[in-house]
Structure 1
């Protein structure tokens, strides 16, 4: 039984090694639409990125205000404070990732190749 598995694994390895990578040496090229198209999609991506940063800032402020309102001295509300803290935490993480998006994408592409 083990001989059969070893033989099958050897033949599979030889078959996979014999197949050439059709994408070997190719790199992505985003200039297929000309310079105006390239400028347009780059502006659109940066606009979406900027809007994402603004939205995460708004959610961060809402979360912090929710935490502050829930921990008042007159009527403290631990449940509302926990919800505000969770929202502020997620908004802060989102803001950090969006601020470092170029670094994150660059690292993923570096390790993927």
Structure 2
């Protein structure tokens, strides 16, 4: 990551992705929050920042059936959502691009 803003966006992305994964893993409430926060904070550790592999491993260990494509699709959706949450200075067109991409991305 090259900037603090990128790091914040990635942490938000992984928090959202963690909540999605927690639901698939049957976690709720505090357990889901703890899982999502752990996934998000691992972002800053170079030895544990491979989120895709972590999700694949967790799903496989729990017997949760999610294809690689489903995980990647969730990652794309969460990335769009995390980008939309990012405050834009002076009404930048980035937010408009995110909204447009959301409309174009099949769900």
Using structure 2 for the length normalisation, give the TM-score: 0.31
Using structure 1 for the length normalisation, give the TM-score: 0.30
If each structure's helix is expressed as a fraction of its own residues, which one has the higher value?
1
Larger radius of gyration: 1
